[in-house]
Amino acid sequence: MSHLIAPSLLSADFLNLERDIRMVNDSQADWFHVDVMDGHFVPNISFGFSIISQIKSIATKPLDVHLMISDPDRYVADFKKSGADNLTVHYETCIHLHRSIYSIKEHGMKAGVVINPHTPVENLRDIVAHVDLVLLMSVNPGFGGQKFIEGTYNRISRLKDLLIQLNSQAVIEVDGGVDTTNAARLVEAGADVLVAGSAVFNTPNPAETIKKLKLLS
């Protein structure tokens, strides 16, 4: 499959959120990336259920919801109700990760696991056969506009090898500092989904940037 583009609404203009959502609807993007932060697991707070429901009411593409929150199990049903299509939880927040993944699936969503830049890819060995996606953070989670961590290419390759070895169909998503200068190399390394926030919304023509990230030319 050709790689997917998931613009992160964290960098959208919240005073013109409807305009930005419609821009993504009409663009070559594939998913909406929706970052939920609790001020506990990460040192920032973003938005919650009512905003996500409103995004869902006009979005014509799947909502890829990235939970940067402690104890995500408590809210799985609420995120389903708000319109999440993919729900991704941090490995670092889930004591019973296998249970969390199955809870997400039982609620009818695609289940993802995400790891911070310092968490070894190999720690996912016993969960990759059970997830629909693996999200690799290429910055420390919590903020948009941070510098891409170069070691990510190697982590993608190692994850790709692990998925092949264990016969996992999970897609590999990369999040943080992705832009038109590193996108091609990320896809070459094995990324299936590129999340991009500031690289899309902080450019004069976001739809054009999405197109560049999609076509890689």
Whole-number Cα distances in Å, 213 to 28, 67, 194 = 9, 24, 8
Q: Is 146 in the site for ligand DX5 (CB under 6 A)?
A: yes
User: Is-contact 124 113, C-beta < 8 A?
Assistant: yes
Q: Which of residues 47-106 bind ligand DX5 (CB under 6 A)?
A: 66
Catalytic residue selected from 20, 30, 35, 85? 35
Q: How far is the CB of 193 from ligand DX5 (least distance, A)?
A: 12
User: Is-contact 34 9, C-beta < 8 A?
Assistant: yes
* Token pair in block for residue 178: 């992705």
Distance from C-alpha of 184 to C-alpha of 47, rounded to nearest angstrom: 31
Q: Is 35 labeled as catalytic in the residue annotation?
A: yes
Q: Which of Zn ion, ligand DX5, none lies near 3, with the C-beta cut-off 5 to 8 A by kind?
A: none
Among 35, 85, 173, 192, binds Zn ion (CB under 5 A): 35
Q: CA torsion angle for 144, 154, 134, 206 (degrees, to 10)? A: 40
DSSP string, 33-54: EEEEEBSSSSS-B---HHHHHH
- Residues ≥6 apart with Cβ < 8 Å to 37: 44, 45, 46, 68, 69, 141, 142
Q: How far is the CB of 114 from ligand DX5 (least distance, A)?
A: 8
Choices 19-27, 34-42, 51-59, 89-97 (CB under 5 A): range interacting with Zn ion: 34-42
Among 30, 64, 132, 175, binds Zn ion (CB under 5 A): 175
The residue ranges of DSSP E strands in the chain, in sequence order, are: 4-7, 32-37, 63-68, 86-90, 110-115, 133-137, 171-175, 193-196
Catalytic residue selected from 38, 64, 85, 175? 175
Q: Which of residues 187-216 bind ligand DX5 (CB under 6 A)?
A: 195-199
Binding mask 55-74 for Zn ion (x = CB under 5 A): -----------x--------
Q: Is 85 labeled as catalytic in the residue annotation?
A: no
Of 61 and 166, nearer to Zn ion (C-beta) is 61
Task: Tell me which residues touch ligand DX5 (CB under 6 A).
Answer: 8, 10-11, 33, 35, 66, 139, 141-146, 175-178, 195-199
Catalytic residues: 35, 175
Task: Tell me which residues touch Zn ion (CB under 5 A).
Answer: 35, 66, 175
